[in-house]
Amino acid sequence: MRDILPVLGRWYTARQPFGLATVVGVSRSAPRGPGAAMAVGPGDEVVGSVSGGCVEGAVFELAREAVADGGARTETFGYSDEDAFAAGLTCGGEITLLVRRVTPAADPAFGAVADSVAAGEPVTMATVTGGPAPIGAALAVRPGRVTGTLGTAGLDAAVTADAHGGLALGATGMRHYGPRGQRREDAVGVFLQSFAPPPRMLVFGAIDYAAAVARIGAFLGYRVTVCDARPVFATPRRFPPDAEVVVEWPHRYLRETGTDERTVICVLTHDPKFDVPLLREALRRPAAYIGAMGSRRTHAERARQLAEAGLTGPELARLRSPLGLDLGARTPEDVAVSVAAEIVALRWGGTGTPLSGTEGAVHPRPPKGSDEKGCESGAPG
Read off the pLDDT of residues 169-228 as tens digits, 9 standing for 90 and up.
667 889 999 999 998 898 999 999 988 878 899 999 998 999 999 999 999 889 999 999
Give the residue ranges of the chain where pLDDT is below 70.
28-31, 79-93, 168-170, 361-381
pLDDT number for residue 100: 95
pLDDT number for residue 90: 55
CA distance 97 to 24: 6
CA distance 271 to 279: 12
Q: Is-contact 241 253, C-beta < 8 A?
A: no
CA distance 117 to 2: 8
CA distance readout (Å), 73 to 128, 152, 229: 10, 20, 56
| H helices, E strands: number in the chain | 10, 16
Angle between helices 272-282 and 296-308 (to 10 degrees): 60
pLDDT number for residue 247: 96
pLDDT number for residue 365: 54
pLDDT number for residue 363: 56
HSE-up of 112 (CA within 13 Å, CB side)?
22
3 state DSSP class of 116 = helix
CA distance 260 to 289: 10
